[in-house]
Amino acid sequence: MSAAATGLPEGWGMVIGLEVHCELATETKLFCCCPNSFGDQPNANTCPTCLGLPGSLPVLNERAVELAMRVGRALACDVRRSVFARKNYFYPDQPKVYQVSQYDLPTNEHGHLDLPSGLRVGITRAHIEEDTGKLTHVGGGGRIHDASHSLVDYNRAGVPLVEIVSEADMRSSDQAREYVAELRSILLATGVSDAKMEEGSMRVDANVSVHREGEPWGTRCEIKNLNSLRSLGRAIDHEALRQIDLLDAGDTVRQETRHWDEASGRTGTLRVKEDADDYRYFPEPDLVPLEPSAEDIRRIDAALPVLPAARRAALAGAAGAPTIGAVAIAVERDLDTLALEAITAGADPARVLTHVEHNLAVEGAQRVSAAHLAALVQMETRGELTATQAKATLAEVVATGDDPAAIAKAKGYEAMGADALETLVDGVIAAHPGEWEQFRTGDDKAKGKLTGFFMGKVMQASKGQADGKAATALLRAKASA
Amino acid sequence: MSPVDTARSTAAAVRAGERSARSVVEAHLGAIGERDGELHAFNLVTADAALAHADEIDAQVAAGHDPGPLAGVPIAVKDNLCTAGVPTTCSSKILDGWRPPYDATVVQRLRAAGAVSVGKTNLDEFAMGSSTENSAFGPTRNPHDTSRVPGGSSGGSAAAVAAGFAPLALGSDTGGSIRQPAAFCGIVGAKPTYGAVSRYGLVAFASSLDQIGPFATDVADAALLLEVISGHDPLDSTSIPKPPLSLSSTLQQGVEGLRVGVVKELLDAEGIHPDVASRTRAALEALEGAGAKIEEVSVPAVIYGLSAYYLIAPAEASSNLARYDGVRYGLRVDAPTTGEMYDRTRTAGFGAEVERRIMLGTYALSAGYYDAYYGKAQKVRTLIIRDFEAAYERCDVLLSPTAPTTAFELGAKADPLAMYLNDVCTIPSNLAGHPAISVPFGSGDDGLPVGVQIMAPAMGEATMFRVAAALEGARA
């Protein structure tokens, strides 16, 4: 990875590992029958178990386990015998004052995620745990230490999570963003989570460290709770530069947990490693180990949808090589099947992907039939529609579901024949002899500049009916004649 | 001791309409009123609720309905079992004012069987102790000799049954907390197989060891109560998915041909009083006389049981008791910061023994010590299970003393280690998850009751109760 791609000063590199917490889309919580839902009255969704009342016991939600295993298989993990463990710490966000998680025996281990750019990021583990309650600190700086009092909402306590831990395989904030975006698309495609970063159903912690090229990696810092791709990218870049500044000044980087302040665009210390808790993990005696059978895993695999990477590969295979960005967008918008079918029906791949990328980023785009899209692109290829007309026609197809040929006819779009176009172009040239002379004798730069001028005139004269591409070709042919 | 009717005869009379539940409950409330000031078996007597419930039972009978196998039978419930709307204290100041919003599964099952709860019984705070002296509300005294302890931690329940306050009681047993007080009070007490009785609503001490079980004046009543409370409960993930135990029908089948082993390491254990050892040998002879085959067996790993237990139980307790932090319920001692509030609340709310075990357990689980302590203790547990399995290849049940001595005097065991040694014979069954029962078998030279323990493999309750019934029959 070159220094340029990281945005770091020459000679420096960064390494990033991510921990993503994702709420599972179950009806009920991980260990009780309370609804798993966001935005209700505080403490409405609670019971003795998720309030941790004395004598209450957890009963594992089988659906949550299934979804967690689905995440694991979608990330190519080994799904194995796992044991829940208690993570003990004193803080009021956990009503039991321990969190039930998994420790040395997680459900999913040793997977990977292939990104659209081709980078493969290792997945260390994806384990099941319960979410904590939500604290609101009143008065002071919004932290428990200086608050006058704190309010606690246990609706979120006991909501099932998977925590997906990556290997430190990313070398730039762009790669980290790409990883999170790809992970999110998998969580959505598999129906495991709604993965809404802004609502906190998907939260990212980033571990960042830097080095001078050729030297070992430095001490890492963890940035907690990044809740948008933008914050993730900014926080990582800021943190890497902060560490480089420290090292440049001869200081050392302390291992610590930091938070990202979106407003100031800076990270700040949450706690340093020295006072990190000893969580005293031990196996949760109130639950029995999970022992998925080979049959369970087969069933999970059989129910997995085709994943984004495979969908991208299929579309890219049909569309040809230089379309990676457009292909990724098509899959992201769930329009890859439409594109693939239109291409299979004989439509020009590049034009299909252009429409998907630029003209179908709209509500209802998924209702467009492949036959209609193929027909539209073919009309365009045959010169019966200009690019502008095709765009307008497609908008009508989305809105009405009508046949594109009928729409084009109703709008009065018709092909401007080659002869008519040539007559029109000749007329424009004749009317602007000075510009034509500059165009004809000018270099590429001048030609490029004047193309815009002539095309404007051609479109004006044709009232938008001319095919811009054909007209440009005609101009260039006449200039070199 | 006031002679009491058995639960069986009481339930039969109430079901037949020969006796009203109200009269039964009133008689027992009367006995409580007469003597519980002296004994302090109860933290709370729920007289009004008990009488109202008795009236409901009588109305059911009058309407031709059957209130169930424990119709109108008074029962005392250990005060670490949740009772909806009724204070549940664990004999600790830390739960001051807390009323559970729900009933423990066993409490629901008792009600469904027609039993009438008369109150909540005293215990060592959070069930941590062997004498019921560690109660924040003062000790319970042994009905046989009020200068003596009733044993613990379920001392209140044992004393209540021994004193005739109720024919039945529920206790919980983590390392002997039902069996040892049963032995000290001269009654029957059983710890079922781990998972045979739901723990839902039992305030946890050490989750992997805790089991709820019955106290009764005789083996058949204990069997009846265990039948009522056992059976799968979907609210407890460690509950065994099996129907309720069936014990009563095979109780009188005798021991002809059964193989009974006496555990050498427990009979010879340090601190076993000669009277207790001789009563245990007498029990063996009695069973042999009844047709059982007797042999001495070795279960070598049990000698490490006490050490393993005092790592595992405090470790789990340190986590289970973390929730008493003053934030949501129970005692809170205010302070300027959250951390200080935790400190002050827990310091004020927990007694010395609870504090000691929380500190032991916290240490045992700490980073760097886990493998040496908790990890190693779990390995001992595995060894004990293995050694028991070997013994059960040769024997159907195993026999040992229940406790090393008869009931000791209040204050006699101020040294925690001396107190811990009381559990040497009972702990192995908890570590293995196996059932065990204490049956009274005569008394020592001091005139105080001696209990003999019968142990069985997991889900071996039917055979275990058969042997217990035979021993009880041989006692007369």
Half-sphere exposure of B466 (CA within 13 A, CB side): 23
Residues of chain B found within 8 Å of residue A282, distances taken between Cβ atoms = 315-316, 319, 365, 370, 374
Q: Rounded to a whole number, what is the distance in Å from the CA of A255 to chain B's nearest CA? A: 19
Residue B362 touches chain A, beta carbons under 8 Å: yes
Residues of chain B found within 8 Å of residue A96, distances taken between Cβ atoms = 322-323
Residue B239 touches chain A, beta carbons under 8 Å: no
Asked if B323 lies within 8 A of A287 by C-beta distance, the reply is no
Residue B328 touches chain A, beta carbons under 8 Å: yes
Percentage of residues of chain B with pLDDT beyond 70: 99
Separation CA B131–CA B128 (nearest Å): 9
Separation CA B73–CA B28 (nearest Å): 10
Backbone φ and ψ for B214, nearest 5 degrees, come out as: -95, 150
Residue A145 has pLDDT above 80, yes or no: no
Amino acid at B80: N
Separation CA A51–CA A38 (nearest Å): 17
Residues of chain A found within 8 Å of residue B104, distances taken between Cβ atoms = 55
Expressed in percent and rounded to 5, the helix, strand and coil fractions of chain A are 40, 20, 40
Residue A481 has pLDDT above 90, yes or no: no
Q: Are B233 and B105 in contact (CB under 8 A)?
A: yes
CATH class of domain segment(s) A418-479: mainly alpha
Amino acid at B236: D
Question: Given pLDDT bands bounded at 50, 70 and 90, which one contains residue B228?
Answer: very high
Q: Rounded to a whole number, what is the distance in Å from the CA of B82 to chain A's nearest CA? A: 7
Contacts of A263 (CB under 8 A, 6+ apart): none
pLDDT tens digits for range B334-354: 998 889 999 999 999 999 999
Q: Rounded to a whole number, what is the distance in Å from the CA of B470 to chain A's nearest CA? A: 36
CA B441 centroid distance within chain? 18
Q: Rounded to a whole number, what is the distance in Å from the CA of A150 to chain B's nearest CA? A: 10
pLDDT tens digits for range A397-451: 888 888 888 888 888 776 676 778 888 888 899 999 998 988 888 888 888 888 8
Identify the bridge partners of residue A334 per DSSP, sorted by sequence position.
Answer: none
Separation CA B452–CA B448 (nearest Å): 13
Separation CA B14–CA B60 (nearest Å): 10
Nearest CA in chain B to A98: B319
Identify the bridge partners of residue A121 per DSSP, sorted by sequence position.
Answer: A113
Can you give the pLDDT at residue A148? 81
Separation CA A143–CA A152 (nearest Å): 13
Residues of chain B found within 8 Å of residue A57, distances taken between Cβ atoms = 199-200, 235-237
- Which of these, A106, A101, A59, A97, lies nearest to A78 by C-alpha position? A106
Asked if A58 lies within 8 A of B237 by C-beta distance, the reply is yes
Q: Are B242 and B193 in contact (CB under 8 A)?
A: no
The full length of chain B comes to: 476
Separation CA B433–CA B254 (nearest Å): 25
Separation CA B69–CA B57 (nearest Å): 12
Identify the bridge partners of residue B256 per DSSP, sorted by sequence position.
Answer: none
Residue B202 touches chain A, beta carbons under 8 Å: yes
Residue A278 has its nearest CB partner, among B236, B342, B366, at B366
- Which of these, A256, A287, A278, lies nearest to A101 by C-alpha position? A287
Can you give the pLDDT at residue B23? 97
Separation CA A155–CA A136 (nearest Å): 13
Question: Given pLDDT bands bounded at 50, 70 and 90, which one contains residue B3?
Answer: very low
Domains belonging to chain B, first-starting first, are 7-247 (3.90.1300.10)
Separation CA B431–CA A361 (nearest Å): 64
Q: What is the mean pLDDT of chain A?
A: 89
Give whole-number Cα distances, B359 to A38, A102, B242, B322, B392, in Å. 39, 24, 38, 11, 37
Residue A88 has its nearest CB partner, among B102, B319, B328, at B319
Residue A128 has pLDDT above 80, yes or no: yes
Higher pLDDT pick, A454 / B27 = B27
Q: Are B267 and B276 in contact (CB under 8 A)?
A: no
Asked if A280 lies within 8 A of B362 by C-beta distance, the reply is yes
- Which of these, A353, A347, A350, lies nearest to A377 by C-alpha position? A347
Can you give the pLDDT at residue A468? 79
Asked if B101 lies within 8 A of A48 by C-beta distance, the reply is yes
Can you give the pLDDT at residue B476? 54
Can you give the pLDDT at residue A165? 98
The full length of chain A comes to: 481
Task: Give A301-329 as a DSSP string.
Answer: HHHPPPPHHHHHHHHHHHH-SS-HHHHHH
Separation CA A33–CA A31 (nearest Å): 7
Q: What is the rounded average pLDDT of the residues A281-295?
A: 96
Q: End-to-end alpha-carbon separation of chain B, Å?
A: 17
> What Rg value do the Cα atoms of chain A yield, rounded?
29
Complex ipTM? 0.96
Separation CA B347–CA B340 (nearest Å): 10
Q: Rounded to a whole number, what is the distance in Å from the CA of B271 to chain A's nearest CA? A: 32
Beta-carbon pairs below 8 A across chains A and B: 98
Separation CA A476–CA B334 (nearest Å): 86
Residues of B belonging to the active site: 78, 153, 177
Separation CA A266–CA A268 (nearest Å): 7
Domain locations in chain A as residue ranges = 3-302, 308-410, 418-479
Burial class (CB in 10 A: 0-12, 13-18, 19+), B37: exposed
Q: Which value, to the nearest 10 degrees, does the dihedral of the CA atoms of residues A158, A164, A165, A167 take?
A: 180
pLDDT tens digits for range B259-316: 999 999 999 888 999 999 999 999 999 999 999 999 999 999 999 999 999 999 999 9
Residue A97 has its nearest CB partner, among B90, B236, B325, at B325
User: Which stretches of A80-229 are assigned E, i.e. beta strand?
Assistant: 84-88, 98-102, 108-114, 120-130, 134-138, 149-153, 160-166, 202-212, 221-226
Q: Rounded to a whole number, what is the distance in Å from the CA of A162 to chain B's nearest CA? A: 21
Q: What is the rounded average pLDDT of the residues A309-332?
A: 82
Q: What is the DSSP-derived secondary structure letter of residue A462?
A: H
Residues of chain A found within 8 Å of residue B235, distances taken between Cβ atoms = 57, 59
Chain A positions touching chain B (beta carbons under 8 Å)? 48, 51-60, 86, 88, 90, 92, 95-98, 144-145, 150, 152, 278, 280-282, 285-288
Q: What is the mean pLDDT of chain B?
A: 96
Nearest CA in chain B to A137: B338
